């Protein structure tokens, strides 16, 4: 499979996944994007909060 066909197939797959599950549900590794703000609730354990 040529690089052009491979890239097109990946773009189509990502488009279908985003359509089904919503934007941001999948992304390319190393892609320079910003993640939407995610609200978090403290667990009460600082070390666990940092790990999560």
- What's residue 13's pLDDT? 94
Whether residue 26 contacts residue 14, with contact meaning beta carbons closer than 8 Å, is answered with yes
pLDDT in tens, 10-28: 999 999 999 999 988 888 8
| Containing structural domain, residue 14 | 1-51
Which runs of consecutive H residues, i.e. helices, occur in 1-52?
Answer: 3-21, 46-51
Instruction: Tell me how far apart the alpha carbons of residues 25 and 19 are, in angstroms, rounded to a whole number.
Output: 9
Q: What is the number of domains present in the chain?
A: 1
Cβ-defined contacts of 32-39 (< 8 Å, 24+): none
Query: What's the whole-model pTM score?
Result: 0.54
CB neighbour list of residue 52: distance below 8 Å, 6 or more residues apart: 40, 43
């Amino acid at each position: 499979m040529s690089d052009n066909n491979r890239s097109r197939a990946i773009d189509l797959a990502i488009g279908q996944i985003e359509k089904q599950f919503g934007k941001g549900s999948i992304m390319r590794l190393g892609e320079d994007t910003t993640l939407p703000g995610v609200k978090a609730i403290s667990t009460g354990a600082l070390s666990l909060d940092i790990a999560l």
